Amino acid sequence: MRILFVGDVFGRPGRTALIGGLPELRAKEGYFDFVVINCENAAAGFGMTERLMNEMFDAGVDVMTSGNHIWDKKEFVPVLDREPRALRPANYPPGAPGRGFGVFEKNGRRLAVINLQGRAFMPEVDCPFRTADSIIPALGCRVIFVDFHAEATAEKIAMARYLDGKVSALVGTHTHVQTADESVLPLGTAYLTDAGMTGAHGGVIGMKYDSVLPKFLTGVPSKFEVDDSDVRLQGAIVEVDEETGRACDIRRVQMSRGG
Give residue 259's pLDDT band: very low, low, confident or very high (50, 70, 90). confident
Q: Specify the pLDDT at position 128.
A: 98
CATH homologous superfamily, domain 2-254: Metallo-dependent phosphatases (3.60.21.10)
Q: Specify the pLDDT at position 258.
A: 86
For residue 43, give the DSSP letter.
T
Average pLDDT over residues 131-152: 98
Q: What is the pLDDT of residues 41-90, one digit of tens each?
A: 999 999 999 999 999 999 999 999 999 999 999 999 999 999 999 999 99
Catalytic residue among 69, 149, 176, 201: 69
Query: What are the distances in angstroms from CA 186 to CA 160, 175, 189, 190, 191?
Result: 11, 26, 7, 9, 11
Report the predicted TM-score, pTM, of the whole model to 2 decimal places.
0.97
Beta strands in 135-244 (DSSP E): 144-149, 169-173, 183-184, 190-192, 197-200, 231-240
174 is catalytic: no
- For 82, the enclosing helix (H) or strand (E) is helix 77-82
What are the residue ranges spanned by the domains of the chain? 2-254
CB 159 within 8 A of CB 191: no
